[in-house]
Structure 1
């Protein structure tokens, strides 16, 4: 129980303050234990951080798979556009997503390789989840087949990257503008209409 509570509190601190701005003392105080008690469960801040990181990346993939499962009846246009909107809402409401994005763009220098391994594995898995959706859209003649499912998915991931950047840097108005413009051009190029 205490180990999970430490990870929950650490997630909030890492999401808000980053690795460098988070202290084990502050985490322990919020949990209601002494700093030394953290070492009963973790060797140190790096191990705690990496466990939280692993959990967060698993949760982000669960969000994507749950979204895919629960929106399977949407048209491909609505499905993809709504996904962008859902992710922007998720960023506002969810420490997992805040942490995920913060660490994807600003990993601790000494853990860079380990963090980026998680980032690229997660993005690759996300992309792989969207390829069958594009293949289905091509089969159903909803998307221009000459583009190809993998290229269409890679371009969508590029839009998602731009949305992630605006989530971190731009604020809500810039985010809406980025989603609207990027989506419009993407869909115009992708659709058969």
Structure 2
């Protein structure tokens, strides 16, 4: 059994049950090995969790870069709006997105500092990526790029929290209520 298979199972379990609801025994059973075999790849559950967190964050950064690169020609309004709706769709189908949301907003208490350091670093990079993608649209914007980017991330966060706790319908309701107001506020 490889570390990749263990991480894949652990990602699914952490996404579904959170840190506290996931045991190494559950992961071992899922991949068909004995719990002790996990220790040949990972020192403990914390190391496995933090390894997955780092990989998920790296994948999310790559997704963001790819999304903005592939949608470079879209008008800004569509590009920003579709990123929000795509995030909801990704949450519905991808364990990595569920893992990031669940464990980002409710990290294991004993790993809180490490998780939050990783997430704040991630959000700083997200902010830079958004700013870079706003630069060519600066004439369309009513505020400085940094303010637009930070407010967009704030909108994104609020939508993700609604998705995590309220589900798709509440996410959609919040998006519908906020998007036009947000767009009118930032655009000239």
TM-score, length-scaled by structure 1: 0.95
What residue in structure 2 maps to residue 78 of structure 1?
78
- Number of residue pairs the alignment of both structures matches: 188
What residue in structure 1 maps to residue 154 of structure 2?
158
> Which portions of structure 1, spanning 4 or more consecutive aligned residues, are displaced by more than 3 angstroms?
none
What residue in structure 1 maps to residue 105 of structure 2?
105
Instruction: Please report the RMSD computed on the Cα atoms of aligned residues, expressed in angstroms.
Output: 0.9
What residue in structure 2 maps to residue 143 of structure 1?
141
In the alignment, the residues of structure 1 paired with residue 169 and residue 133 of structure 2 have an alpha-carbon distance, to the nearest angstrom, of 29
What residue in structure 1 maps to residue 173 of structure 2?
177
What residue in structure 1 maps to residue 55 of structure 2?
55
CA contact (8 A) 1:76 1:133 kept: no
SS in 1 for 2:43: coil
- Aligned-residue offset at 1:171: 1.1
CA contact (8 A) 1:107 1:115 kept: yes
What residue in structure 2 maps to residue 121 of structure 1?
121
- Aligned-residue offset at 1:167: 1.2
- Aligned-residue offset at 1:30: 0.9
Q: Please, which runs of 5 or more residues in structure 1 have no aligned partner? A: none
Q: Please, which runs of 5 or more residues in structure 2 have no aligned partner? A: none
SS in 2 for 1:167: helix
CA contact (8 A) 1:56 1:100 kept: yes
What CA deviation, in whole Å up to 9, does each residue of 1:134-163 have, x standing for no partner?
22111xx3222xx11110111101100111
Structure 2 residue 4 is matched with structure 1 residue 4: yes
In the alignment, the residues of structure 1 paired with residue 186 and residue 46 of structure 2 have an alpha-carbon distance, to the nearest angstrom, of 43
What residue in structure 2 maps to residue 29 of structure 1?
29
What CA deviation, in whole Å up to 9, does each residue of 1:9-39 have, x standing for no partner?
0000000000000010110011111000001
In the alignment, the residues of structure 2 paired with residue 53 and residue 189 of structure 1 have an alpha-carbon distance, to the nearest angstrom, of 35
